A = this chain, B = another copy of it.
């Protein structure tokens, strides 16, 4: 059953170093077309894609993201935007009451649409021999990101997607065992501890190999440590200010 598509999916690794070669116009258009082919909630297509080519903007986004070089140095940089502004405009032109657009349900729909589209683009890119890395940290200063990209109300920047020709070939990062992700008929609160322990060892081995012994960390330890990162509390007020998820 391992056809070319499944092989592409299972072979995913995030790429964080790209060759200095830009994507062609044709590649960009094809990637966007693939993104658009994804499912969209009630056919609303509640997302937009911003292609960031301006080097000054890329440099600023790199800073916002905590100085990750691959935000600036890549083949192309896309920002996926959850977008109810287009629907707002269309509704107003048709004399419709657009107040539903400020609901949490519509916010999650737009976020879902953006994520489906982005994942399609990621898969398409990898099938073309390109590598990708999602950049959630463009939200580290969401006000500044939105300002740079001139985002209107009813939209927010969900993540960036760096795409380009890989200049590294990292190992695949092991995923949680099937029994820790999959539940039959009902959510099983009790985690399969044995599977989790084995997984912890697998992740520790992965880091050990990848860093030549400098890092030796289990997955659960990494998760626990990640909880101490200061919370990004700017997102909720940003959304509400811009008419998203108010109720």
Interface residues on chain A, number (Cβ under 8 Å): 116
B contact residues around A116 at 8 Å (CB): 115, 118-119, 122
If A89-B191, A149-B186, A189-B85 touch, does A231 touch B1 (CB 8 Å cutoff)?
no
- The residues in A between 115 and 138 inclusive whose CB is less than 8 angstroms from any CB of B are 115-116, 118-120, 122-124, 126-128, 132, 134, 136
A123: chain B residues within 8 A (beta carbon): 5, 9, 120, 123
Q: Tell me which residues across on chain B come within 8 A of A105, comparing CB atoms.
A: 139, 231-233, 235
Contact between B236 and A182, CB atoms less than 8 A apart: no
- Chain copies in the assembled complex: 2
Write out the residue numbers on chain B whose beta carbons fall within 8 Å of the beta carbon of A14.
39
Kindly specify which of A22-30, A62-70, A208-216 makes contact with the partner chain. A22-30
What is the interface of chain A, defined by CB distance below 8 A to chain B?
1, 3-6, 8-12, 14, 26-27, 29-30, 32-34, 36-39, 41-45, 47-54, 57, 81, 85-87, 89-91, 93-101, 103-106, 108-109, 111-112, 115-116, 118-120, 122-124, 126-128, 132, 134, 136, 139, 148-152, 155, 158-159, 173, 175-176, 178, 180-187, 189, 191, 219-229, 231-233, 235-236, 239, 245, 247
